[in-house]
Chain A
Amino acid sequence: MNVLAIDSSNLVMGVAVTEEQKVLSELITNNKKNHSERLMPALAQMVQAAGLKPSELDRIVVAEGPGSYTGLRIGITIAKTMAWTLKKELVGVSSLEVVAQNGRGFEGYVAPFFDARRGQVFAGLYEQKDGKMVPTVPDRLVLMENWLAELAKRDRPVLFLSNDFDKWGEKLSSEAFAVLGDSTQNLPRPAELARIGATKEPVSNVHHFLPVYLRLAEAEAKWLAKQGR
């Protein structure tokens, strides 16, 4: 099975092509965020580098969120459009689950997170079972303070993986149970996305496949609050 994996959910942009157990091509950048300009050329380049034509892909796997709303829409629009028009399978994978793969082998919990502003983070908690990283709790949007308090109650050390240690590294280092990931562990790898996406169930309705925003649009939240008043 030829798999194309796309991740533009955060600052890191990644594209990979795999065939069964083999990674054929992989590209990852962690600088500018103009994903709308760079993603399609990168995708075309990786498919070509893998020696394939678009029609020869069997499955498209996309990081479905959480993450930047705009970034998610770019990746998901491209993934679902290609899956629909080329009649290929489409699979969505949690953006946090992709990062969690880098914690394989860690004795304890793996806690990937993305900064979500206003003291909040998009956070997940994973642990290794039978060689696989499985979620301990569902991905969530949470105040970092509350998240740390929750994790402190657990019995094992926690490996934090994040591209946002500039902002949160210092705070996390002060927690006794926390271990911080290395630079190479903190970035989601698109080849890992392809690997886990290859084993998941494809979405049943490509048309209405949507990003997992984990947060309402601000206007919607305000409107709902007003109704409840």
Chain B
Amino acid sequence: MKLNVNQKTLILGIETSCDETAAAVVENGTVIRSSAVASQIEVHRRFGGVVPEIASRHHVDQITVICEEALSKSGVAWEDLDGIAVTQGPGLIGALLVGVNAAKALAYAHQLPLIPVHHITGHIYANRIVRELHFPLIALVVSGGHTELVHMKEHGSYEVIGTTRDDAAGEAFDKVARTLGLPYPGGPEIDRLAKEGSPVIDFPRAWLEEGSLDFSFSGLKSAVINYVHNEQQRGHKLNHADIAASFQESVSEVLVKKTMMAAERVHAKQILVAGGVSANSKIRLEIEEAARTRSIPLTIPPLALCTDNAAMIAASGTIGFLKGTRADLSLNGRANLNIEDF
């Protein structure tokens, strides 16, 4: 399918799949007119992780506030919008329902097209806000819930060619951080701590079968936990910085090598990195280096576009809009959703 991706559009995006309530207006799929995010990190910190019921309650409190902020900052009127894009899934079901029902109410009230968006396609399309996409491409999607290699032959077409068989990379970061007694969220804490240490501990790398593009992080996670326990039992003083650096080295090496393998296999013209874990400075550095030596153009969104936001949902929703993807008022949130169906 050939899409005219240069068509003029104005799309409102809404995102509530986890612990950020977000809304944004994006022009032509590439220009952020406004982006509002209410983060609940502080709310969940005392629980050591996101509590779904509490996240859902906060979304109800913030949803219209954030939509109003996005609308007023964009200077766009309802009648100027071409459609409303909303994250349908995957995510926390109670959280998704708030965004989906708000989007339906808005679409109904203003008689606007409603466009369902897969959250991960949002992370991927955050890159198009930075630079136009060139196909075929490989997207490495790494977040608290996802570790996937997605092959795109054209706009709005997604083929998963590698995925995690157990934990997501972000989950491993959170669990290792907890083992080291670091506060939630653990990813940025490990990143910070690793800068003070060296990767001197030899933690395992799970390559799986020859040529496999899949990932596995549960073995690495257990290895770190076991190492910590063993050292403590022997009465050794732990060097947290070295543990963080070594763990991060192991994750980053596997992610980068497999991404390069995938890129070479499909003769990628571009590599994208997406998702919250792409905020990690080590992973950024390593993948930049690897892409440069292979002369494959690489795009990583700025930090604000790596974590959950609605500009990325509007950017992906723009492609959905151009493809003719529409939902009616019976649209429901879905905790599990296949990206290949989008």
Could you list which residues of chain A lie within 8 angstroms of chain B, going by C-beta atoms?
Answer: 34, 36-41, 43-44, 54-55, 69-70, 73-74, 76-78, 80-82, 84-86, 206-208, 210-211, 213, 217-220, 223
Contacts and interface: CB of A to CB of B under 8 A. Distances in A.
B57 A210 contact: yes
Interface residues of B, number: 34
A207 to B, nearest CB: 5
Contacts of B59: 73
Given A70-B97, A84-B64, 18 more contacts: A40-B104, A40-B329, A44-B108, A44-B329, A69-B57, A73-B57, A73-B60, A73-B97, A74-B97, A81-B67, A85-B78, A85-B105, A86-B109, A208-B61, A210-B57, A213-B57, A217-B54, A223-B47
Interface of B: 46-47, 51, 53-54, 56-57, 59-61, 63-65, 67-68, 78, 94, 97-98, 100-102, 104-106, 108-110, 328-333
Contacts of B97: 36, 70, 73-74, 77
A144 B108 CA distance: 41
Contacts, number: 105
Contacts of A54: 108-109
Given A78-B105, A84-B68, A70 B94 contact: yes
A76 B60 contact: yes
A54 B101 CA distance: 16
Contacts of A69: 53, 56-57, 94
Contacts of A219: 47, 51, 53-54
A207 B68 contact: yes
A13 to B, nearest CB: 13
A34 B332 CA distance: 9
Given A40-B108, A54-B109, A81 B328 contact: no
A79 to B, nearest CB: 8
A36 B54 contact: no
A43 B108 contact: yes
Contacts of A217: 51, 53-54, 57
14 contacts: A40-B329, A41-B329, A69-B57, A73-B57, A77-B60, A77-B98, A77-B102, A81-B64, A84-B68, A211-B60, A217-B51, A217-B53, A217-B57, A219-B53
A36 B109 contact: no
Contact of B105 (A38, A40, A73): A40
Contacts of A73: 56-57, 59-60, 94, 97-98, 101
Nearest to B99: A77
Contacts of A37: 330-332
Contacts of A206: 64
Given A69-B94, A84-B64, A210-B61, A77 B54 contact: no
A76, A80, A81, A86: residue with the most chain B Cβ atoms closer than 10 Å: A81
Given A34-B332, A36-B97, A210 B46 contact: no
Nearest to A220: B54
A61 to B, nearest CB: 15
A78 B46 contact: no
